[in-house]
Structures are given as C-alpha cells and as structure tokens.
Chains A and B, each alone.
Chain A
Amino acid sequence: MITEKEQRLLSRYLDGNLAGADREGVESRLQTDSAFRALKTEYEAIGQQLNEFREPAGVTPEAAWASVRREIRLARDEDGSRSVPWHFGSRLQWAGGMIAAVFLILGAWVLIPGPAQDAGIAKSMPAEVEWVETAVPDAMTMVYQDDETGLTVIWIMEAEEETDPAHAES
C-alpha cells in the first residue's frame, strides 16, 4: 500500500527536490519495496512522454511573430528606402508633415494681414481726399482735416457765404 504522501515524496524525489531524511526514506523504500519501484518506473515513463510533447522555447506563437516582424524589418533595412525604423517611420513622417503644416499656417497668418490688424493700422490713418468737385453754381469746395476729432470735412462753400459760416475759428 503506497499512501498519497509517499506518492508526492516520490514525485519530488524524481524532480530532484527532495533532501535529508525524506530523500533517504524514499531511497530505502525503493530498495525494499517492489511496488514502490514499479511506481517510480511509471512516473519516469510519464515524465519522458511529457518531455517528448514539450515544444522548444523558440517556436512559441509570440516568438514566431517576433521572428516574422524581425525578418520584415531586416528586409526593409536591406531595401535602403528608409533611414528610420519601420515601425516608427510612418508616425515620424506624419509628425513631420503636421509640423510643416503648422509652420506654413503660422507663416500665412503673419504674412497675410487680417481684418483686425488692418483696423488697427487704419484707425490711425486719416482719410485721404483724392479729388472733389461740386456742381452747385458759383460754389467752391474746401477740405478740412480736424486733428482733434479725426474728422475729414469736405465742404461746399456757396457764393453767398462771405466768410466761412460753417467752420469754427480754425
């Protein structure tokens, strides 16, 4: 009769994980008990079968996928069409493109004057009268720029106005 505890001790003995009194006990039992030796033989056979089914570490799915990617990368490097790693190349190109676009837009914003900039410049510039004429008989025109109010006045001076009745003393 082999107890469950003795089976576990035998399994640990075969794995090389048993020492001291337990190890000596298992070895003594193996010399005296043919059933125990038969169990040892059975365990060793099972272990051997498991080892036969075990796959090499290098061909796990993860390793296989890494190998495929490595092969692709090596093939691209040999092609010489890229100076940056393949898995970063696309992202770097888009990043470069976006940076270039931002610089172009900023350049356009600086070079093309916007309405707000125009308004700021224009407000400081007085109106410029290019020409003026009147069809009122015996009348003439006068252009007056008032610095205080910023008004540009284009005035019809009619004949009956002996002096300038409209304008303040200026």
Chain B
Amino acid sequence: MRNHSSIRWTALALGTAGLLAFASHSQANGTVTLKAVMIHASNQPAALDRRIENIEYKLRRVFKFKHYKHVGKGNITLSLPGKGTIALGSGYSLEVEASPAGKGRVRTRVHWRKGGSTLLRTSTVVSRSVPTVLGGASHGSGKMIVTLVVE
C-alpha cells in the first residue's frame, strides 16, 4: 500500500507540474494581431468616413487637419516572436516584427515603406489595445497617417 500511495502522489505532482508548464508556455508563446489603418489627412473637403470614426475624433484632438479619409487597412496575426508584412494599399506597406516585452506588453519593430523606399523605422514597446500613430509622409495635398494597434 505504501507503494500505491507513492504512485498517487507522484502522479499528482507530475500532473500539476504539467499544468503549470502548459500555462507558462501558453503565456510566453501567445499570439498577437496587429491591426493597421492608413488614413489621409488633409484640409481638402471630404465626407465623413465611418470606417475611421473610432479613431478620427482622437486624431482631430492631436492634429489640425480638417479632414481624414480612410485609405487602406490590413491585419496580421503573429505567434510571438514573429514577423510579417501588412499591405496598406496605394503602394504603402508595413513590415512588422513582434516579440514579448514582459508584463503583457509587446515589442514591435515597424518598417513603413512606400514602394521600395523607406519612410520610417521604429521600435516601440506597446500595450495591447493602445494605438500608436505613425505619420508625416507627404501624399498629395496632405499627410499619410498609420494607426497601429496590437490586440
């Protein structure tokens, strides 16, 4: 009977260890979805675009452009660490690389390109659901803006 008791306790310990290892592994090696929306900001009259209504009111508080127009968007889901490319339309794209940054945050390295030219390269540590705004690239009579959110 003593042997049976030892076997039970060993099985229990192994099961618990397995559960902890699984939980730890899932946490460390999760997936993230990066959502990018490209917006053309200008002072040229344009109709309200409902596709960007959840971010436009924030952009209006930060920038002094009068009008904001949805140009393109793209999503990519990555296993951490991972990298990929988001095509935004009109020749613009984002090359993104994501990795865990601790405390639930994500390190994103972003390469904003137009055709074969580099517009911007940056590395940021971001929280989930908090948008980061890249912008300033001239386009027509206005500027291109990209909002990037990690979910």
Please report A residues at the B interface, Cβ cutoff 8 Å: 81-82, 93-94, 97, 100-101, 104-105, 108, 112-115, 117-119, 121-123, 125-136, 139, 141, 144, 146, 148-158, 165-168, 170
Contact = CB atoms under 8 A, between A and B. Distances in A.
B135 A112 contact: no
B61 A101 contact: no
B54 interface: no
Interface stretch (B67-75, B79-87, B90-98, B123-131): B123-131
Interface of B: 1-2, 5, 8-9, 12, 15-16, 19-20, 23-24, 27, 30, 41, 58-59, 61-65, 103-105, 107, 117-138, 143
B14 to A, nearest CB: 12
19 contacts: A113-B27, A119-B104, A123-B128, A123-B129, A130-B122, A131-B123, A135-B120, A135-B121, A146-B61, A148-B61, A149-B61, A151-B131, A151-B132, A152-B132, A154-B122, A156-B135, A157-B136, A166-B63, A167-B62
Judged by DSSP, the binding face of A is mixed
A118 B138 CA distance: 37
Contact of B138 (A112, A122, A158): A158
A167 to B, nearest CB: 6
B124 A166 contact: no
Contacts of A100: 12
